[in-house]
């Protein structure tokens, strides 16, 4: 079973590292750099 996760952080390097690590474990990863951006992603999926 494939899992999905939404990472939210204002530090782009943190998002890149965590996203890369999670993608290797067969996880769909979405990223957002703010709470506002995260809410938009949540509402559209």
What tens digit of pLDDT does each residue of 1-45 get? 778 999 999 999 999 999 999 888 788 999 999 999 999 999 997
Domain holding 30, by residue range, is 3-44
Q: In the prediction, which pLDDT does 3 show? A: 86
Q: In the prediction, which pLDDT does 44 show? A: 92
Supply the DSSP symbol for 31. Answer: E
Going from the C-alpha of 10 to that of each of 15, 37, 38, the distances in angstroms are: 8, 11, 11
Q: In the prediction, which pLDDT does 8 show? A: 98
| Number of domains observed in the structure of the chain | 1
Going from the C-alpha of 7 to that of each of 18, 45, the distances in angstroms are: 8, 15
Residue 5: strand pairing partners: 29
Q: In the prediction, which pLDDT does 16 show? A: 96
């Amino acid at each position: 079973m494939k899992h999905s996760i939404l990472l939210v952080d204002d530090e782009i390097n943190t998002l890149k590292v965590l996203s890369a690590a999670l993608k290797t474990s067969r996880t769909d990863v979405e990223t957002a750099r703010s709470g506002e951006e995260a809410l938009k992603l949540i509402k559209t999926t």
